[in-house]
């Protein structure tokens, strides 16, 4: 999967990958910026949090651009997502009132620029501070077999080769086609967020706008300015 990230970096380094529209404004990550952030996050998962190929991670970051980055870091490392995970990446704004159940509770701050909050909940690691200490060059620590049953989506095993070869099939229920600039609104399942926030933009040459605020006339005008051609909402 990392080879797909590298191919993406070569072809789309200066083009938008993920754009975030939140209460605090707008942030856009180009392909190059996104790759830099993924590399640091992927290094932190392995070197900082001691994840290995059998580790599972739960990403509870809503429609923040950080969700796209951390889910990309999971794919880069070949890690699986699970709600009953070894590592939980979360923020109070998105956790739905749930208390993290993992000993590795990693708090990811909601700052638009990824800056670390001075205070985090008791018992949680300040992930936004920790990640800044890791390098922006990444290489997988173990071999990733594209044909092995190593990808878990909502508890169902699959392969990275299947994800890559059938990306358009995964996109079809959302109404997404290659090259599209689409927006994501509302809450989605972990599997759908992995696809919408990271995998489909990566594999289909799309760019995604994550709407992290209530939809108002102002947001509608902003999406028009972003030249969004399709909006994905829950059950749409």
pTM of the model: 0.92
Going by the DSSP 8-state scheme, the letter that residue 172 receives in this structure is G
Reading the block at residue 57, the tokens are: 């991670």
- pLDDT for res 153: 62
**Below-70 pLDDT ranges, the chain:** 96-102, 145-157, 236
- Please return the burial class of 62, using the count of CB atoms within 10 Å of its CB with bins 0-12, 13-18 and 19+: buried
CATH number of the CATH domain containing 71:
3.40.50.12780
Reading the block at residue 104, the tokens are: 């590795």
Q: Return mean pLDDT, the chain.
A: 88
Q: How many domains does the chain have?
A: 1
193, 211, 215, 223 from 218: Cα distances, Å:
24, 12, 8, 9
The domain in which residue 147 lies consists of 2-232
Q: What is the pLDDT of residues 199-224, one digit of tens each?
A: 999 989 999 999 999 999 999 999 99
């Amino acid at each position: 999967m990392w080879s797909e990230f590298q191919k993406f970096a070569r072809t789309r380094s200066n083009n938008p990958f993920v754009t975030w529209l939140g209460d605090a404004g707008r942030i856009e990550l180009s392909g190059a910026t996104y790759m830099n952030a993924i590399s640091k996050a992927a290094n932190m998962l392995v070197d900082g949090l001691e994840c290995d190929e059998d580790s599972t991670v739960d990403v509870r970051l809503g429609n923040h651009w950080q969700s796209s980055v951390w889910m990309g870091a999971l794919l880069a490392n070949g890690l699986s997502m699970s709600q009953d995970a070894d590592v939980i990446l979360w923020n109070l704004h998105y956790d739905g009132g749930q208390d993290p159940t993992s000993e590795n509770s990693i708090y990811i701050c909601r700052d638009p620029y990824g800056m670390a909050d001075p205070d985090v909940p008791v018992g949680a690691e300040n992930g936004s501070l920790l990640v800044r200490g890791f390098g922006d060059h990444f290489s997988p620590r173990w071999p990733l077999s594209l044909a092995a049953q190593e990808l878990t989506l909502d508890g169902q095993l699959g392969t990275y080769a299947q994800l890559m070869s059938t990306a358009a099939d995964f996109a079809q229920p959302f109404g997404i086609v290659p090259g599209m600039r689409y927006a994501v609104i509302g809450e989605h399942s972990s599997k759908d967020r992995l696809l919408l926030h990271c995998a489909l933009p990566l594999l289909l040459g799309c760019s995604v706008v994550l709407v992290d605020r209530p939809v108002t006339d102002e947001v509608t005008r902003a999406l028009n300015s972003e030249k969004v051609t399709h909006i994905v909402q829950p059950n749409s």
